[in-house]
Structure 1
Amino acid sequence: MAENQGNSTGQGADLQAKLLDAALMHVAFDGWTRATWDAAVADSEVDPTLAEALFPRRALDLAVAYHKRGDALMLERLKDADLSSLRFRDRVAAAVRYRLEAVGDKEAVRRGATLFALPQNAAEGTKLIWGTADAIWNALGDTSEDANWYTKRATLSGVYSSTVLFWLGDDSPEHQATWDFLDRRIDNVMQFESLKASVNKNPLLKPLLAGPNWLLSHVRAPSQRDDLPGRWR
């Protein structure tokens, strides 16, 4: 029974990859649209009913799958990379760079940015960016369980999204301007973290922060227990 379920899951993943690969041949011309969806189904020769079962929201789900494929490629590269000699801020920069270098088609990302900028898709786009930031922090060994769990991911989401937008318009050799931009953004974040630390140590300001710090001390990261029904994402 379990083996049959595993085969079914694997077959579904293979068909999803087949549909996505077929869609990428058309995204540059038609975007993540119904036209691309129809062409992907026709080119992949996947049964239309099965295709819609795999991607209920059609082109939108294809765009989501494309983003998640990039996350998976980034994680594979991070797993194989030796970043032990780098400062932590440089490890974060390397992870963001790996994520962008995992993109095989910049135009597909540009079209995706347009799709997720639409009001009805904005929440989905935000969720994907947060997921990328979460994947990076987890891969780099983040163990925070308090409010820092949220602030780290929120901050990196801002760094990542701004870097993507800069990268989309970057035509410098080997995207060197983008990597310089990324370094500046991370430096800005590190400066802000240093400022927070100095404020918390300031004897004049520390009493004013007692209330907010007490409240934040009760914030906890989402539960990731495996012994409950469903799954945490």
Structure 2
Amino acid sequence: MNRIPLRILRRTLSTAPRPAATAASILDHALTKVPTHGWTTAAVAAAARDLDLSPAASGLAAQPIALVSHFLTQALSFTLHDADDQLHELATPHERLRLLCRIRLRQTLPLRDRWPEALALLAQPQNLPRATGHLMELASELCYAADVRAANLDWYAERSALAAAYLATELYLCEDRSPDSQLTWRFLDSRLDEIQGARALCSGASTYASQFSRNIYNIFASQGFK
């Protein structure tokens, strides 16, 4: 039996696509399939075919939630990068937070017709820990980038409030057809103003946190999670 020379085998193994790299390539391309196929295994499979790769080999065959998770990670990374050169021009944390939220929401805009499907996936009980993890990471990173100080409120309360405001605005965006999404930006401004008002009205951080945590639960419940 003919054997493959060891040097060729080593070179083949070293240049073969790694599963993580393969998965990332498929997911990147699969995002372009979402408008047609939605957040589904069909979108992942179509992307894999285009790239002549195997979704099964990369572990993505039955994980449409992986596509949603990939988008959330990529969108947050882009937001922080895109806002970096603009934040220093804004005088207050409130203004910086508004800019960051707008940039992030614009990542969802091209996919807004399909975004309720993504939220429905995230709201499934088995995916809820991942969903809340992404949401709290978003809130934490945006607060940090905006230099939001907790003042008399604890870290969790501040970020829970922003998470609820952001999620509510994202849902509003899905239905908004106003020019340049102007109604969405007004809605966002109102939610951020409410956070400022709640800071003044709520004397205890626990009260403040529980108020917005309930809002997060109610929003997910509206998407099918009970």
1:43 equivalent among 24, 42, 50: 50
Q: Does 61-70 or 109-118 show the bigger shift?
A: 109-118
**Where does residue 4 of structure 1 map in the other structure?**
none
Structure 2: unaligned runs, 5 residues or longer = 1-13, 208-226
Structure 1: unaligned runs, 5 residues or longer = 1-6, 201-208, 214-233
Deviations 1:113-167 (A, max 9, x none): 1211223322222221111111101222356599611111101000100000001
Correspondence 1:177-188 to 2 at 5 A: 177-188=183-194
* TM superposition shift of 1:73: 0.7
Seq. identity, %: 26
Amino acid at match of 1:93: R
Task: Verify: 1:91 aligned to 2:96, yes or no.
Answer: yes
Give the TM-score normalised by the residue count of structure 2.
0.72
Instruction: Check the 8 A contact 1:63/1:112 in 2, yes or no.
Output: yes
Task: Verify: 1:171 aligned to 2:177, yes or no.
Answer: yes
Task: Verify: 1:31 aligned to 2:53, yes or no.
Answer: no
Correspondence 1:105-124 to 2 at 5 A: 105-124=111-130
Task: Verify: 1:59 aligned to 2:61, yes or no.
Answer: no
Root mean square deviation, CA, Å: 3.1
Distance 1:12 1:94, change over 3 A: farther
**Where does residue 162 of structure 1 map in the other structure?**
168
The total of aligned residue pairs comes to 192
Task: Verify: 1:134 aligned to 2:140, yes or no.
Answer: yes
> What CA distance in whole angstroms lies between the structure 2 residues aligned with 1:145 and 1:185?
19
Instruction: Check the 8 A contact 1:163/1:182 in 2, yes or no.
Output: yes
**Where does residue 217 of structure 1 map in the other structure?**
none
Task: Verify: 1:71 aligned to 2:86, yes or no.
Answer: no
Distance 1:146 1:42, change over 3 A: farther
